[in-house]
Structures are given as structure tokens and as C-alpha cells.
Amino acid sequence: MKTTRRQFLLAAGLLPLLGTSRAASRRVIVVGGGWGGLSTARHLRALAPDLEVVLIDRQPAFVSFALSNRWLVDVGAPAPERHEYASLAARWGYRFVQADVSAIDRAAGFVVAGNERLAYDWLVIAPGIRENYAAWQVEDPALVAELRRRYSGAMLNGADLVSLKQRLAGFKGGDLLMNIPPAPYRCPPAPYERAMLIAWWLKTQKIPGKLIIADPNPMMPAFRSILLDRFKDQITYLDHAKIRQIDPVRKAVSTDIDDIRFDAALLSPPQQAADLIWQAGLIRTEEGGQPSGWAAQGAVDFRSPVDERVFIIGDATGMVSPAFGLYPKTGHVANRMGLAVAQQIAAQATGRAFPSLLPESVCHVLSSIEPDEQTRIDTSYRQRGDGFLLQQVKQTKNPNPAGEDVAWAEAMYRDFLRD
């Protein structure tokens, strides 16, 4: 493999190391400016103002996925929230560096961000997910980029939502394939809500098309009757349909049962922790020695088991309890993890004590349209005396929604985006 100039400089110890000559203030580096990283950075500035906080993201701006499904088909929702990191950094008092973090040297305590080495006292890694095209037998990066451009289901970056909306607007008929990724994946109800809205849109716009849903998981009960009965003329639902391969020339995917042809598609490959977690050797290994695909971190403190200065939060996190597996991959959970980690670092830096904080999640999902109905999903946690973590999930139907989803999003955004 060809060595890049940056890899050569890194190996030779020639990249500038920023931070070695800095004054007494200690530095926290947060990699990833999503729901988790932004929450950590904002709360750390408030809880421990003497710490220097540096947020690094490869993108220039945060774009939220919340409420985006309705906006995709123009059902009374505004465009997804977009916030430039430079403005957020100025508002909350942290420093923003736009760069790709390509390596972490835990022994020496620095990250490689673009052409800089940045030293840290604490490191919070919140890089989200990657999509594993290799599971569909696609390894060539150029082909991955082409598949993403033509067929992405836009579950990786909020910035991809604009092109997905344009592709949907250009769909004039035929077979529109949408797959649900195998669990665990981010925001479990989101693909079903999206499918319901696309079916409604095909029906009301009288588009002569069929939405084919390939689902390897059990369908969420709240959507069963609406997807299978109410929109049966618009939807073909294929259960036990796990995609194994994609043939972009033939415009077809193969499952264990049969091949599915499509004219247009919203494809979402299996999800895993983002590349950085793999590069830093922080993936949890299964009992058989196989990588689990998700990070190893504490269930409640989110600390790496191999380095107490390193925390991993958000969708990249892995197994936390034999009772239920992983935390749900939601922005709400990532936000609570961000606050919990900010409190732990502030406690170490200032000596102030904070009560321990477990994640929680509230999700308002549109489970019917015309008439509108929402389902509220509350997920909460408690620790037994022996430390064993238990999860409770409560689903409540709301037949008369009055903007509860918008109010929830607004409350979340006030926590880490707005003054």
C-alpha cells in the first residue's frame, strides 16, 4: 500500500505537535460534532470553564436528521436544522478545527487531524457510524462513492438529505426499492416512518410507482397495519429480506430468497461504528474473537476499558448489557451521553461531584397520516444493586398530535445548539 505524505511525516514524528507548549490549561479534544460531540463540548465549557475544549469535525456544519422524513415529501416540516460549527464554537466558547482525524496515538496522547498533531488530556470520540458496503460485496471506493451518489438512503450524514429529496422529486414511476438495515442501526423507527410517508406521497401524487421494502428485521408493530393494509397498493413488503449483494449494472440486489430489481432505490448498507474506532483499535471483540462492529466502552461512564483518558459516545458505542444489548442509536441518547461525559471530565478537573446520569430517549414518530397519529417511544434505564443495567421501553399512541415532536426537537436543540 502506498504511504501518504502525512503517514510518512507521522511515522517520522515530523507533524507539528500543537499543545505541548501551551500554558497550564488542560485540553479536551472532542472528535465528531454530531449530537454527542456537540453536547459534550457545550456542557464542558459551562461545567469546567478553565479547560480548553477543541471540537474537530471533517464537515463545516451540523445537519440534524430529526423531523427530516416529513420534509422529504413536504408534509409541513421545515428543512433540517443546519448550524455552522464556527458559529456554534463562537457561541459556546470552544475552538473548532475542520479536519479529518486519521489516527489517535493514545500512548503519546495526541490525535492526527489533517496536517496537525493535537495533544489532549482527555479525548472524547463521537464519530457516529460507517456504512459497510463490503457486506454487499462492494469493496472498490469508487463504486461505493457512485452507489452513494445514485442510491444513498441518507442515513449517514444529514447533509445527504438534500440530494435524497431531489432524487425522490425526480421519481416518476416504477419500482422504488428501500431496504431497512439489519439491527442495530440508527433511529430504529425512522425507516418505517419514511416508508409510510413515501407511500402516502406516491398515492396522493398519483405516481405510478411501487415502494418495495426489503426488511431483515421484525417490523415495528406500530407500522404493521398502515404499511401492509392501508398502503397495500403502494407497498410490497418483503420480510426476512437481508441483502447479500448488489448488481448496479442490472439494477438488482440479491437476498437469500430471491433477486429484487429496481428502477430507483434508497439503499442503506449494514451499519458499524465509524472508521476512527477501528483505526484506534477500540472495537469490542466478540467471544469467538470476531470484531463486534461496535466500540468497547463502559455502560455508564462510556470510558474506554483500555484507556481511562478516552471516552466513546453516541451511535458508535457497543454492548452495554446482556439484558438488551446496545443503547438505541438516537440523538437523544447521544446527547445524554455527551452530558454524562462532560460531567465526569469536569468532576476530575474541578473536584466538583455530580450525580451519575443514565441515558434516556424520547422519540415521537408519525405512525399514521391523514388522520395523523404519533407514537411516543420512551426508553429509560435503571441499574440494579449489582450494577446490572435494565431497559424499559414504553410505546404510547397519540391520536391527536399537537406538535409534540417539534417541541421535543426544540428542547433538544436548546441544550446544545441555541442560546
Ligand X SMILES: Cc1cc2nc3c(=O)[nH]c(=O)nc-3n(C[C@H](O)[C@H](O)[C@H](O)COP(=O)(O)OP(=O)(O)OC[C@H]3O[C@@H](n4cnc5c(N)ncnc54)[C@H](O)[C@@H]3O)c2cc1C
Residue numbers at the binding site for ligand X (CB under 6 A): 31-37, 56-59, 65-66, 68, 100-101, 126-128, 155, 186-187, 190, 274, 276, 314-315, 329-332, 334, 363
Q: Which is nearer to ligand X, 226 or 274 (CB)?
A: 274
Pairing of strands 174-179, 264-266: parallel
CB of 127 to ligand X, least distance (A): 3
Q: How far is the CB of 41 from ligand X (least distance, A)?
A: 11
Residue 258 CB, nearest approach to ligand X (Å)? 28
Of 287, 282, 241, give the one whose Cα is nearest residue 262. 241
Closer to ligand X by Cβ: residue 109 or 158: 158
Q: Cβ of residue 294: shortest distance to ligand X, in angstroms?
A: 11
Closest contact distance (angstroms) between CB of 238 and ligand X is 21
Nearer CB in complex with ligand X: 240/283: 283
Report whether 328 contacts 379 (CB < 8 A): yes
Cβ distance to ligand X smaller for residue 202 or 334: 334
**Residues in contact with 287: Cβ distance below 8 Å, sequence separation at least 6, in sequence order:** none
Q: Please identify, using beta-carbon distances, which residue of 257 and 393 lies nearer to ligand X.
A: 393
- Residue 321 CB, shortest distance to ligand X, in Å, is 19
30 to 125, 234, 308: CA distances (angstroms): 6, 45, 15
Q: Cis bond leading into 371, ω under 30°?
A: yes
Considering the complex, what minimum distance in angstroms separates the CB of residue 113 from ligand X?
7
Cα distances (Å, whole numbers) of residue 330 to 47, 232, 363, 391: 24, 29, 9, 15
Neighbour-count burial of 400, counting CB atoms closer than 10 A to its CB (0-12 exposed, 13-18 middle, 19+ buried): exposed
What Å distances lie between residue 338 and 45, 56, 141, 188, 274, CA to CA?
A: 12, 15, 32, 21, 17
Shorter beta-carbon distance to ligand X: residue 96 or 237:
96
Task: Give least dist CB 409 to ligand X, A.
Answer: 7
Cα separation, 248 vs 373, whole angstroms: 38
Q: Judged by CB, which is closer to ligand X: 108, or 411?
A: 411
Q: Which of 121, 415 has the CB closer to ligand X?
A: 415
Contacts of residue 131, defined as CB under 8 A and 6 or more positions apart, other chains included, come to 155, 156, 268, 269, 270, 271, 272
- 37 or 209: CB nearest ligand X: 37
**Of the two residues 98 and 254, which places its CB atom closer to ligand X in the complex?**
98
79 in Cβ contact with 377 (< 8 Å): no
Q: How far is the CB of 6 from ligand X (least distance, A)?
A: 13
For the CB of residue 408, give the shortest distance to ligand X in the complex, in Å: 8
